[in-house]
Amino acid sequence: MNRLVLVLVLAALATAAAAQERVATRTLSCAALQVRVARDGHVVLATSETAYETVHLDAGACRNDETAAPAFAPAADAPSCLTGWRCRQRNSDSGQR
């Protein structure tokens, strides 16, 4: 019985950690978005109800098969705010056959 309780508690904690809050970019100023990314290290930014992405403070947060690119998002006071770095899958198609 104790083992079952432990498994359920660990599963609940894992689920809560996986469900990260999405920050609505248009509700915050550009400076506030930048502070949030700097404070948390990475943030899920929502530019609309259906469009969102993870933005990192550091370009080195990307995995080996990814490359970092500047992340811009609309803010309450700026149409294009530099919020941090997004990770993109590297193009494996070199064009050579």
Q: What is the DSSP letter of 26?
A: G
Q: What pLDDT, on a 0 to 100 scale, did the predictor assign at position 90?
A: 85
Q: What is the pLDDT of residues 15-68, one digit of tens each?
A: 444 456 899 999 999 999 999 999 999 999 998 889 999 999 999 999 989 999
The residues that bridge with 69 in the sheet, in sequence order, are: 86
- Through-space distance between the first and last CA atoms of the chain, rounded to whole angstroms: 59
Q: What pLDDT, on a 0 to 100 scale, did the predictor assign at position 38?
A: 97
Q: pTM of the entire structure?
A: 0.70
DSSP H/E element including 81: strand 81-89
Residue pair 59/87 in contact by the 8 Å Cβ criterion: no
| pLDDT confidence bin for 8, thresholds 50/70/90 | low
Residue with tokens 């930048």: 34
The residues that bridge with 84 in the sheet, in sequence order, are: 71
